[in-house]
Structure 1
């Protein structure tokens, strides 16, 4: 649990610092203050913006960054306060706005729920964090924040549990084996997206480890999904996007040509893939032993696989 919380704090800190080269808005100004560890200034900027413009979606997202920033800094009481304030503003905004039409609102609400759960877990109340996330998934399970909430629930609960089944209906490459049929092997699930540069960075690591350990029983299944667009955000129909996914696989992931690639949103929802890549490592008995949104180094992933072989 401590490893999960520290890892998420590091990820939050990295995200907080990634504000450079963006147009000046209340969001970028608050993030700049957070990056300087000046949370009082960030809060003052948000309050001034609220006084001038009212409660906008940009303000809600800016408030969520204050929640994330104070959590990453270990200020749990302040993180809880900012997440509660953001959540209240976001829920009120949803009375007149659709989350699917408002990316700032989506980000703000998702972050508020995430930070509240993280604070509960960091305080040692894991069961409360799990219950809170389950309740929020019931509320927002059909919305665009579902994956993010499921990711956070999985981070708290998935390791040590049987791997959720994969939807094998549509696929590229060989037929998708049921995870039940893969028992006896160590299975690495590599969730990727055709537009994802971090996935391309992770690919050589997975390729090298697959070649290294295939004879000892390592298997790779690489779920992906459609997003409704292809190169440079150009809208695409399902058939055109599937052809594009196959092209990206062949160009950037040639080692996956002979591996099963389930294509569908259901797997990403089930495994909470709001971050790509996401890796899940399943042992020979079908139990998830590692669940990791984001990239892993070759040394870390090698060590995790080696323990299960």
Structure 2
């Protein structure tokens, strides 16, 4: 009896979490354009028709550092489906070099700098904040979680690649 209850609970939680992503799909990701640490201009428009993980972070944020390996692993897992990982650094300490920090951590994803205005545009209140955007430029999920074991990260990726 206990085993049946446990199985039913897992199924119900999974169904609830899957349904929660489609509810948020009405908000469109707002366009932005920023520069990287090296002065290269990047914009959301460059990633049109691609599923995107948009990660707001800061070099001093321990929760961002904890989450980034998960985001990189998810991007690699769904790379064949065109998933892109872009980050926007904001609220940095003076002299911070976000792209250098990303490389020091062993990652190669692109990060825009001085993203305070874009963070405000997206309603970001703290770090980390991550958006999962589908091919139609719809925000499927916004989260401030840094819990690497949160199954919603993978579920959100499954949602953004199918639309």
TM-score by length of 1: 0.40
Equivalent residue, structure 1, for 2:113? 263
Distance 1:295 1:286 in 2: 23
- Describe the SS at the equivalent of 1:180: helix
- Residue 277 of structure 1 aligns with which residue? 128
Question: How many angstroms apart in 1 are the aligned matches of 2:144 and 2:159?
Answer: 20
- List gaps (5 residues or longer) in structure 1: 1-157, 230-235
Shift of residue 296 of structure 1? Answer: 4.5
Tell me if the contact between 1:189 and 1:221 (Cα under 8 Å) persists in the aligned partners: yes
Instruction: Tell me the SS of whatever aligns to 1:221.
Output: strand
Secondary structure, counterpart of 1:210 in structure 2:
helix
From 168, 173, 178, the equivalent of 2:43 is: 178
| Deviating more after overlay: 177-186 vs 197-206 | 177-186
- What is the alpha-carbon distance in structure 2 between the residues aligned to residue 286 and residue 173 of structure 1? 27
Q: Paired residue for 1:204? A: 69
Structure 2 unaligned segments of length 5 or more: list them. 1-23
- Give the paired residue count: 137
Give yes or no for contact 1:167–1:266 (8 Å, CA) kept in 2: no
Match of 1:190 among 27, 37, 55: 55
Partner of 1:292: 143
Separation of aligned partners in 1, 2:119 and 2:140: 18
Instruction: Write the distance in 1 (CA, Å) between the matches of 2:50 and 2:38.
Output: 19
Higher strand share: 2
**1:27-176 to 2 correspondence within 5 Å?**
159-168=25-34, 170-172=35-37, 175-176=40-41
Structure 2 Cα separation of the partners of residues 165 and 174 of structure 1: 19
2:157 corresponds in structure 1 to 305
RMSD: 2.4
Give the secondary-structure state (helix, strand or coil) at the position aligned to 1:222: strand
For residues 113 and 37 of structure 2, the distance between their equivalents in structure 1, rounded to whole angstroms, comes to: 7
For residues 27 and 63 of structure 2, the distance between their equivalents in structure 1, rounded to whole angstroms, comes to: 27
Between structure 1 and structure 2, the one with the greater Rg is 1
Q: For 1:57-92, what per-residue CA distance to the aligned partner results, in whole angstroms no more than 9, with x for missing partners?
A: xxxxxxxxxxxxxxxxxxxxxxxxxxxxxxxxxxxx
